[in-house]
Amino acid sequence: MKIILTIISVLLGCQVFAQTKGEVTVVKDSLIDSLIAKRIELNKARPTTTNPTGSAIVSSMGYRVQIYYGSDRKEVFSQQAQFKSSYPRLNTYITYKEPNYYLRVGDYRTRLEAQKFLSELRPSYPTLFIFREKINAPILE
């Protein structure tokens, strides 16, 4: 008797979860499409501080070299200025995670590129680390 009740409940359960084909109607304001198009146009055309050339920057995962960390805010900005005077073409990024500031440089697609740069910096900066994080994709030449 238990087996028959189990079979009947399974068959009824299948009917309950059966899906029927339907139609989906999307209701949206026509301004949404125009706003999206406008934003794409602005991102491509207008130069910004993060995008001085005007071409769109695509973010992806990559590597950066950390050249300094510490709790002194003035020191991290001093280190950034010193690095920018030596390497003006490389981007620098300061992040703050309590209680320390972190100064990371570069946007490298592969760990090998970051390792080459780390070897170049080794004489000037004693504590260097490579971190994998979201980067601004560099412009390919």
Q: Please determine, for residue 115, whether its predicted confidence score (pLDDT) is greater than 90.
A: yes
Which candidate, 116, 138, 135, 131, places its Cα nearest to that of 61? Answer: 135
Q: How many C-beta atoms surround the C-beta of residue 57 within 10 A?
A: 16
Q: What's the number of domains the chain is made of?
A: 1
Q: How far is CA 77 from CA 123, 134, 140, in A?
A: 20, 22, 29
How confident is the model over 4-43, as pLDDT tens digits? 878 877 766 665 555 667 788 888 888 888 888 888 887 6
Which tokens hold the place of 47? 């130069």
Q: Which CATH number characterizes residue 117's domain?
A: 3.30.70.1070
pLDDT in tens, 78-94: 999 999 999 888 889 99
Dist CA 80 CA 68 (whole Å) = 9
Domain assignment of residue 68, yes or no: yes
Range of the domain at 130: 59-136
Radius of gyration of the chain, Cα coordinates, nearest whole angstrom: 27
Please check whether residue 37 lies inside any domain of the structure: no
